[in-house]
Structure 1
Amino acid sequence: MNGNYLLKRVGQAALTFVATVTLTFVLYRMMPGGPAQALENVILQQQSSGGNTIDPERIELLVSQYTNLESDAPLYEQYYQYMHSVFIEQDLGESLYSNDTVTHLLAERIPWSMLISVYAMVIGYTVSIVLGAMMAFKEKSRFDSISSVVLIGLNSTPYYVVGVLLIFFFSIRYEFFPRGGRVGLGIDPGFNLAFMQSIAYHAMLPVFSMSVLGLGTALTMRGNSVRVLGEDYLRVAKLRGLRNSRIATQYVGRNAILPMYTQFMIGIAGVLSSSVIVEEIFTYPGVGLLVYDAIQVRNYPVLMGSLIVFTLITVIAILIADLTYGFVDPRISTGGDNE
């Protein structure tokens, strides 16, 4: 890997990150009924329910204090203030409806979202790789046909539909699992068996629901394996008398998995962002539920902070995949003339 290629890829990643944040900032500000208007509506609803009246100038002052931006400031000044706060001061702002900083809210919730996201991704991709390889070895068999139909059906079914069905059958109808939360009531947090069991118990349904996202790669693994099975070096390996297990793992499996490496890295961000709907369905207090609640009340700082984190994870995952694919698959020349 040459230095120019590395600088080019890092520069593209940085430019993509800044451009995404900038575009989202502008879209949020140009949308009718922005965060300032949402906060004004909340204040007006509170005063109407309490029978009190607040002077419009007082409302304007409260909005300015909460949003940390002048509502009548030009868009470019608001943009400069926000970008300076994020990139220079490393400050994502404060939530409009609490005294907590966005950084604190995200740091508190991201580990829980990563817990269910990582386990779902690992389970989904592991099952897909094993199932795809078995389908390729038994190509055109009944097992291959039935598995293909089932996988196509699952791949066409939204993961949140699976989540709703899981809630209905296993939480409401049969009460095997809890309907929400991440830890049972009355359990002391800490490194103890009861706490760990409660975490796993509450995370099981969200993990199973999100793991459906990774099952679609089984068809990709099957196609890669079928293509590899027709290569000449496999015939040579069989003529050499190598064991079938060695041929399956070192020749077929290894070469079939390589094209899925980039897809796996991008899937890291995809699974995390999909937690928004899953956590709302299962009432799982992670960053996804935080984002969903922020959307309902247009909590602008929380939405922008979450977007920055999701964008950063996506850009870094793609950058790592781009820079390391040449090491994973030596047949690909990273940074050469043909990128």
Structure 2
Amino acid sequence: MKKYILRRFIHMIPTLIGVSVIIFYLFALMPGDYIDSNRQITAQRAHELRVLYGLDKPIIMRYFIWVKNAMEGNFGFSLKYLESVTKLINQYIWNSFIIAIVTLALTWSIALVIGVYTATKQHSLFDRLVTLGVFASLSFPSFFLGLLMIKFFGVDLKILPLGGMIDTGSTSTGLSYVLEVIRHMILPVGILTFLSIGSLTRYFRSGMIDALKLDFIRTARAKGLKERTIVFKHALKNAILPAITLLAFELPGLFSGAIITEQIFNWPGIGRLQLEALSFRDYPVLMTFTMLLSFLTIMGNFFADVLYAVADPRIRLK
């Protein structure tokens, strides 16, 4: 098992290097940047800024300088916000991580329970209602659902805040601060969970239905094992394998989906920063965020491979 994990970890290194080359070159070849789009900067000052930040050097040299600085934790300087990209992203990334991690935990927990139950109660009324809800979650756009929930829970019922991370002018600390943040998280997390749960539920359901038809399940039933033991101890390990593949895309996918959600609910996360950086062509911020999503995808693949090996011991032998 240790050798298997070590091999998978080593495979990440060339992948990460290749992704960094592609991302850097794509952004380097894009026409215009913050200096070009800012009409208040004179031609002389624009030339000085390009020399100062090394934008006048060849692309290959700029890439190796960027890699060297990135290994030291320096991902460049944001001309729009006038501070280092590392410090800027560090101010917002953890707010987005809170939303993403809670949403991921809720999505997988709920989808697993519902998917397994609907598979064991196939073609029942509950199964049909869940199918209807799954198609609804796949159909609704996030901005429409977000605005609808704001009107219903925030404006009409007045039981949840309209947006933000804390109340306006709040000075709460400790447990009161935590409860205040949780209260503001309910709507964005709820909507992201609802929008993400549909496809994962279908994966768990179809995987469990296929697993329950296998020969070893019929053998287990013939031996007189309890249905609960058959479902959760034997069938679930086989049913969960197709869903593990999605784990590699879940976390970066939540960050991408949260861009619109954070804008709707005025949540101070990395998604809003990304939109503002895109509007002003602040490429160091955009490149760092894109690299972060790529890194999360690669790490997701790594954890998916490890979970594959845990769920199916035969994989460790290959």
TM-score with structure 1 setting the length: 0.84
Q: Give the equivalent residue in structure 1 for 2:140.
A: 157
Alignment of 1:76-115 (within 5 A): 76-87=60-71, 89-115=72-98
Output the CA distance in 2 between the equivalents of 1:117 and 1:84. Answer: 30
Output the CA distance in 1 between the equivalents of 2:189 and 2:159. Answer: 15
1:222–1:234 CA distance, 2 compared to 1 (3 A): same
Q: Give the equivalent residue in structure 1 for 2:43.
A: 56
CA shift, 1:229, in A, is: 1.6
CA shift, 1:25, in A, is: 1.8
Alignment of 1:17-28 (within 5 A): 17-28=16-27
State percent identity of aligned pairs: 26
CA shift, 1:29, in A, is: 2.1
- Contact conserved, 1:86 with 1:92, CA < 8 A, in 2? yes
Is 1:15 matched up with 2:2? no
Output the CA distance in 2 between the equivalents of 1:75 and 1:151. Answer: 47
Output the CA distance in 1 between the equivalents of 2:191 and 2:274. Answer: 19
Output the CA distance in 2 between the equivalents of 1:62 and 1:230. Answer: 66
Q: Give the equivalent residue in structure 2 for 1:334.
A: 316
- Contact conserved, 1:171 with 1:178, CA < 8 A, in 2? yes
What code does the residue aligned with 2:174 have?
A: F
Q: Give the equivalent residue in structure 1 for 2:166.
A: 183
1:21–1:164 CA distance, 2 compared to 1 (3 A): farther
Output the CA distance in 1 between the equivalents of 2:32 and 2:156. Answer: 41
What code does the residue aligned with 1:205 have?
A: L
- Contact conserved, 1:109 with 1:286, CA < 8 A, in 2? yes
Is 1:233 matched up with 2:232? no
Query: Which structure 1 residue ranges, 5 or more long, are not aligned?
Result: 45-54
Query: Which structure 2 residue ranges, 5 or more long, are not aligned?
Result: none
Superposed CA offset, 1:57-107 (max 9, x none):
134324554xx123x3322232232222213x3311222123432112222
Output the CA distance in 2 between the equivalents of 1:30 and 1:187. Answer: 45
What code does the residue aligned with 2:116 have?
A: A
Is 1:197 matched up with 2:179? yes
CA shift, 1:278, in A, is: 1.6
Match of 2:189 among 193, 202, 207: 207
Q: Give the equivalent residue in structure 1 for 2:35.
A: 36
Instruction: State the number of aligned residues.
Output: 317
Alignment of 1:226-265 (within 5 A): 226-265=209-248
Superposed CA offset, 1:243-266 (max 9, x none):
333233223334322332232343
Greater Cα radius of gyration, structure 1 or 2: 1
1:190–1:328 CA distance, 2 compared to 1 (3 A): farther
Output the CA distance in 2 between the equivalents of 1:59 and 1:94. Answer: 15
314-323 or 284-293, which moves further after superposition?
A: 314-323
CA shift, 1:217, in A, is: 1.0
Output the CA distance in 1 between the equivalents of 2:209 and 2:264. Answer: 38
What code does the residue aligned with 1:130 have?
A: V
Match of 1:69 among 38, 54, 57: 54
Output the CA distance in 2 between the equivalents of 1:335 and 1:291. Answer: 43
- Contact conserved, 1:206 with 1:278, CA < 8 A, in 2? yes
Q: Give the equivalent residue in structure 2 for 1:51.
A: none
What code does the residue aligned with 2:79 have?
A: L
- Contact conserved, 2:244 with 2:307, CA < 8 A, in 1? no
CA shift, 1:189, in A, is: 5.3
Alignment of 1:260-339 (within 5 A): 260-330=243-313, 332-334=314-316, 336=318
1:57–1:208 CA distance, 2 compared to 1 (3 A): same
Q: CA RMSD in A?
A: 2.4
Output the CA distance in 2 between the equivalents of 1:290 and 1:160. Answer: 18
Q: Give the equivalent residue in structure 2 for 1:49.
A: none
Q: Give the equivalent residue in structure 2 for 1:50.
A: none
Q: Give the equivalent residue in structure 1 for 2:122.
A: 139
1:334–1:285 CA distance, 2 compared to 1 (3 A): same
- Contact conserved, 2:161 with 2:184, CA < 8 A, in 1? yes
What code does the residue aligned with 1:126 have?
A: S
CA shift, 1:197, in A, is: 1.3
Superposed CA offset, 1:160-193 (max 9, x none):
442232233323444332222111134335422x
Output the CA distance in 2 between the equivalents of 1:174 and 1:279. Answer: 22
CA shift, 1:242, in A, is: 2.8
CA shift, 1:326, in A, is: 1.4
What code does the residue aligned with 1:27 have?
A: L
